[in-house]
Structure 1
């Protein structure tokens, strides 16, 4: 019977066949231990010299790292194994012998591993991170499906910018200027006016010349927009959403989190509601923590966000930022014209902002005033203005950066490990 490594636990004491690659091996002289992987997981294959034909023993002893094969054997329980089973091998059919595989069990530098990212993905740690990433995506879709959101796909090529063109990649769209999208938000607002509660999930691009462990040039965003939803309700949805994602990973990725050495006790505390601190109080807190140079009206950098997060065991919302440092479309606070109804969600343990969201301006005259303040042309943004002209309603939305979220949940040091093929300031290969 042909099966996969992830399903071996369902075939105890049965003889099965799997397709696999050899990730590593060791031998005691009379027994060869083959570390096998097939994409669904890892398992140890045991070849006992006295119990197999000499040709099979010779094959097992001579196989090189990343050789591909079909392996037949009997599945046995093994409490010492992370997967709970091992495979007593009775037959091997080599498909392709790998020669001089460049990534060996020894230590390699980061740049070497990044140059070989197409192969580095095969390692146990990278496999675990990608499995967690997959579960995060699955649980996000699950949350939105269960809460009656509709998926909408905004364009990647746009004629305008959501938040200014300074960090956009410019291209020519025949005889017009165009940009790679840095956010699908504006289009998602249009979709929300048609479909109520919507979300998008896709790649976004920021031409930001940053080399920090939190930044990628190309990354994936999930962006919900909700008609008839005001700021407070949006915050509640955000914390329920993040709680659902984290608890789903804890439930379904125990093995992967164990492989990664993640302290799950910290993730177990991630349950709604989340603490909140206003921008005003955050400034006060930072000054108390020794950030004497931060002044009201300045945006927070990574050290500031980390310092604020250290005061909490859960993700924390920083609310009501100054209007001047936020996007033109954010709704002013009803009691203060100098701040807006917005919030950034800061992850614990120094992983920074994972969500940015706000209530959007729904008043036509106020949006026209914002257009004038920001020098937005009627031609490029006319359609966006018309959303306030024809049946405007209160609405809110947010964007979650997938890779930062994966980094936080897995405990990865750098976001470059959280996406299959990272695009960095100095890297477009492979």
Structure 2
């Protein structure tokens, strides 16, 4: 007997196979039992017809409880009525692991309840679909950067200094000195770019921000490319090509997940058209002020309502260029003709999803960088290795960071970033 996974059903139509699965739900009439089965790859239906199986099989099918693990034997057939397109005509059932009083029932549950049971909530069809899209974005990320000759480098998670100041860092004891959980691998990626030319990292980052917005997590994953001999405009082209590649990959490979989530493919298809629009920070402030945002003045950072309005004005991901120097980190390259802004850009996702990428060209002048480190109240000795990069063959270089969970949230069309990571860490949540 061949054992297959549900996702492989289309290749076995007309064959009798065995599938290991869990019973997500069931319903029955007097003569037919309908089993909603899942195995981690997909969900589909098992049909048990009383007249076609031994009495004990039909009795067992009717008595199966939610999330009982089973081995199902039966014939794969097409099912044009379902989105998945296939089902199994069940001939035998073996119970592998019973489930009693499963807490997440088909009824409505509150968010706190679901988050307390996140270890079980992941089994639901919606959460499964979101994680499938997350997985595709991860797979496509490696494909994109490997195809473009980037080398993956893993920066440390424990660091002795901070790229953007220590205010929002988690501090820990590192034997006889202080250490911090990384808020970004960027500084290390700059060192790697000087060794390998084009590099990227992909790992967890930590921000001790006391924020409760739908866009914030305490622990999240970042993709951070860094490129030597690269100016900002060239970096922007890589960024938009990368994002368009992710969108197209989700469209090509996540049909089932998009169906489950009800995500409109025609909307996503708009985000594969390049180039993405660009607007300067100056013009963005003017745009907001001319449209009733009296709370914004030049020099302010943009909040969620501001980013949403700007993105909606273009109906595509949009780059906001050259923010004020005072609200950006110390390492950004100064503008060649203005002292008040730096060469940087944020990519704002449409549909109200906010910033998904932050990037810049990096300062290359040793004396300027040293001055900035001192001006930001940072310890020069802690950054001596970083300054070395400007002493030994400094070159123009640029990079960016894409937040994985925000991108998953956007492409999935869901409301809150907490569903975009398997086990979210929030301001008041570290369980489970």
TM-score using structure 1 length: 0.99
Contact 2:374 2:380 in 1 (8 A): no
Displacement after TM superposition at 1:366 (Å): 1.4
Distance (Å, rounded) in 2 between the aligned partners of 1:158 and 1:72: 53
Q: Which residue of 2 aligns with 1:148?
A: 149
Among 284, 309, 312, the residue aligned to 1:310 = 312
Alignment of 1:237 onto 2:238: yes
Determine the C-alpha separation between the residues in 1 that align with 2:377 and 2:110: 47
Q: 4+ residue runs of structure 1 moved beyond 4 angstroms? A: none
1:270 aligns to what SS in structure 2? Answer: helix
2:253: which partner in 1? 252
Deviations 1:87-136 (CA, angstroms, capped at 9, x unpaired) = 00011110111000000000000000000000000000000000000000
SS at match of 2:390: helix
3-state SS of paired residue (2:308): helix
Query: Partner residue of 1:90?
Result: 91
Partner of 2:131: 130
- In 2, distance between residues paired with 1:108 and 1:367? 52
Give 1:378 shift.
Answer: 2.0
Q: Find the counterpart in structure 1 of residue 290 from structure 2.
A: 288
Q: How does 1:20-419 map to 2 (within 5 A)?
A: 20-271=21-272, 272-419=274-421
Distance 2:256 2:20 in 1: 21
Aligned to 2:6: 5
Q: Distance in 2 between matches of 1:140 and 1:382?
A: 32
Partner Cα distance (1:279, 1:358) in 2: 14
Give the Cα–Cα distance (whole angstroms) in 2 for the partners of residues 320 and 136 of structure 1: 28
Q: CA deviation at 1:255?
A: 1.2
Cα drift, residue 372 of structure 1:
2.4
Q: Give the match's secondary structure for 1:424.
A: coil
Answer whether contact 1:20 1:36 (CA < 8 A) is retained.
yes
Post-superposition shift, 1:376? 2.1
Q: Distance in 2 between matches of 1:57 and 1:375?
A: 73
Shift of the alpha carbon at 1:383? 0.2
Extract unaligned runs of 5+ from structure 2: none
**1:10 & 1:38 partners in 2: Cα distance?**
17
Q: Is the 8 A contact 1:43 1:83 kept in 2?
A: yes
Q: Which runs of 5+ in 1 are unaligned?
A: none
- Give secondary structure in 1 for the equivalent of 2:90: strand
Structure 2: distance between partners of 1:158 and 1:367: 20
| 1: CA distance, partners of 2:107 / 2:373 | 57
Give the whole-Å Cα distance in 2 for the aligned partners of 1:167 and 1:49: 62
Q: Distance in 2 between matches of 1:159 and 1:372?
A: 17
Look up the SS of the partner of 2:3 in the other structure.
coil
Structure 1 Cα separation of the partners of residues 290 and 52 of structure 2: 70
1:266–1:313 Cα contact (<8 Å) kept? no
Task: Output the aligned Cα RMSD.
Answer: 0.7
Mapped partners of 2:34, 2:69: distance in 1 = 16
SS in structure 1 of the partner of residue 301 of structure 2: coil
1:271-328, Cα deviation, whole Å (9 max, x unpaired): 2210000000000000012111211011111111111111011100000001111010
Contact 1:289 1:307 in 2 (8 A): no
